[in-house]
Amino acid sequence: MPLRPPVPLFYAKACLVRPRLRFFTTTPARRSDDVAQQLAKKNHYERLRIKPTASKGEIKKAFYSLSKTHHPDANPSAPATAAQSFSLLSESYSILSNDTSRATYDRTLAPASASGVHHPRGSYHSAGGRPASGLSRRRGTYRGPPPSFYRSGGYGEHTEKRQKAHEETTFSGAGGARASSEKKTSHHGGMGPGDDPFGHHDDVLHWDRKSHHKTQKREDHRRWARTHKKAWNDDGTQFEPQMSQGSHFLVVLGLLSISLVAPALYMSKMHTKKNDRR
């Protein structure tokens, strides 16, 4: 029986070497689906990784920074999941970038997280700003026209009546209290201490109130006279009164006289010039 060939030495050593143990663990690959699920569980502030007190500039900067990472074009291996993540980020940015929708969203958050959070808004802190809730529908007591009406434009023949009615309405709304001249206090509605809607007549040196008042009364009288000179027809339409028949006759007679006399004078003048030349 033939003997088997001997085993090569290098092969025998390789078989005798014991396998070495590798002391390391493999980290599971992070799937993009988990990122979309985590974003869906977070609120809008956590999605953009900003604080609830962030300004509009910080919100915009955070959104553009995250959009570069989660945009579908930047993740060609998982476009569907990237589109979902980008959609969630866009939703958060659209809500937080608008003051009205952001305020509405903040009210839906938990009281613990919403307490002490104040968002700086120009419409809330700016001078003359109004909240977005609309104007107030409450009706107060009518106190007549503003004081500036009587100081600058409340002239005419009924000025005293208007002023008296305004005083009665204002005083009745204030409980009938009268201002004392010694203490210089006022009880007019909407006026501060010492103010009087009719007391600022002579406090401006260059303003001549009497002359302006006189001029305004004269203008009112002129308008009244011009209005009463107009006539009314049967249909109730107002028109300027026409001239009488005698006036019409004189006007027509004058026009005819001019049309007849003017050519005669012209012809006589031309005839005189011809005679002088001869």
pTM of the complete model:
0.31
Q: What does the pLDDT look like over 117-151, one tens digit per residue? A: 555 444 444 444 444 545 555 555 555 556 665 55
For residue 153, give every residue at least 6 positions away whose Cβ sits within 8 Å of its Cβ, in sequence order, or none. none
Residue 113 has pLDDT above 60, yes or no: no
Tokens describing residue 106: 């903040």
Across 213-232, b (16+ Cβ under 10 Å) vs e yields eeebeeeeeeeeeeeeeeee
Alpha helices in the chain (DSSP H): 9-16, 32-41, 44-48, 56-70, 79-96, 99-108, 111-114, 122-125, 147-148, 159-173, 209-229, 245-277
Which position has the higher pLDDT, 45 or 115? 45
Q: What does the pLDDT look like over 65-87, one tens digit per residue? A: 888 888 888 888 888 888 888 88
Nearest to 97 by CA among 71, 126, 119: 119
CA separation for the pair 221, 223 (Å, rounded): 5
Q: For the chain, list the domains and their CATH numbers.
A: 32-113 (1.10.287.110), 145-202+212-226 (no CATH)
Residues in the chain: 278
DSSP string for residues in 206-227: T--HHHHHHHHHHHHHHHHHHH
Tokens describing residue 212: 């302006």
CA separation for the pair 107, 104 (Å, rounded): 5
What mean pLDDT is reported for the chain? 70
> pLDDT class for 258, splitting at 50, 70, 90?
very high
Residue 44 has pLDDT above 80, yes or no: yes
